[in-house]
Amino acid sequence: MAAKVSFEDLKVGDEIPARSKVVRREEVKAYADASGDQNPIHQDEDFAKMVGLPGIIAHGMFTMAHLTSTLTSWLGDPAALTAVDVQFRALVEMDETIEAGGTVSELDPGTRTAKLDVWVRLERGGVTQYPIKSSTAEVRLG
Partner 1 sequence: MPLNASLIGRTYGQIDYTVERDAVNRFVDAIGEQDPIYRDPDAAKAAGYAEQVAPPTFITVIQIMTSGQVVLDQELGLDYSRVVHGEQAYRYERPLVVGDVITATPRLADIVTKRSNEFLTITSEVHDANGDLVLTTRSTLISRGTGGA
Letter for the amino acid at 62? Answer: F
Amino acid sitting at position 51: V
User: Does the protein bind partner 1 through residue 77 (CB under 8 A)?
Assistant: yes
CB atoms within 10 A of CB 102: 24
CA dihedral 26, 57, 19, 74 (to 10 degrees): -90
CB 55 within 8 A of CB 49: yes
Nearer to partner 1, 7 or 88 (CB): 88
Site mask, partner 1, residues 27-46, x = CB under 8 A?
x--xx-xxxxx---------
Stretch that binds partner 1, among 75-83, 92-100, 109-117, 122-130 (CB under 8 A): 75-83
**Which residue(s) pair with 21 in the sheet?**
98
* Selected binder of partner 1 within 68, 103, 105, 113 (CB under 8 A): 68
Query: Which residues here bind partner 1, judged by CB under 8 A?
Result: 1, 21, 27, 30-31, 33-37, 51, 60-62, 64-66, 68-69, 71-73, 77-79, 81-88
